[in-house]
Amino acid sequence: MKVILDSSFIISCIRKRIDFISQLNEQGFKIIVPREVMQEMKDLRNSDRSSREDRTAIDVAFQMLEKNKLVEKTSFGDGKVDNHLIQKGKEGYHIATLDAGIKNIIVNKVVIFSSKGSVGVER
């Protein structure tokens, strides 16, 4: 199984101190982070509208994603990231996002279980 991570999911997991990479790997997922999602996080990092906590979480995320061999980096190409995530979700990929617009369209969702401090597939 393959899971594509969105920036909202990554940042939220970091802020909640959830080791999402290990948990997804233990659940049998191959983790994919598109370069466009990394660029979204860079843009958020440099935005005046981002909180200090978000900027710190993004810095930690970059460190985790860059050094971890379990994370595959890929590229979507031109177009909006959300549209690509929806398309990949329709193709059978699991999508890890907090974006309600995407979650309402796709079937295979990976979510954060805040009460358990874990991530998993929403059924």
Domain count, the chain: 1
pLDDT digits (tens, 9 = 90+) for 47-96: 999 899 999 999 999 999 988 888 999 999 888 999 999 999 999 999 99
d(CA 56, CA 95): 24
The CATH number that applies at residue 73 is 3.40.50.1010
Whether residue 3 has pLDDT greater than 70: yes
Task: Say if pTM beats, i.e. exceeds, 0.95.
Answer: no
pLDDT digits (tens, 9 = 90+) for 26-46: 999 999 999 999 999 999 999
Using left for φ > 0, alpha for ψ between -120 and 50, and beta otherwise, residue 47 falls in: beta
- Which domain does 107 fall in, by range? 2-122
What is the pLDDT, as a whole number, of residue 123? 65
What is the pLDDT, as a whole number, of residue 65? 92
On whether the CB atoms of residues 6 and 85 are closer than 8 A, the answer is: yes
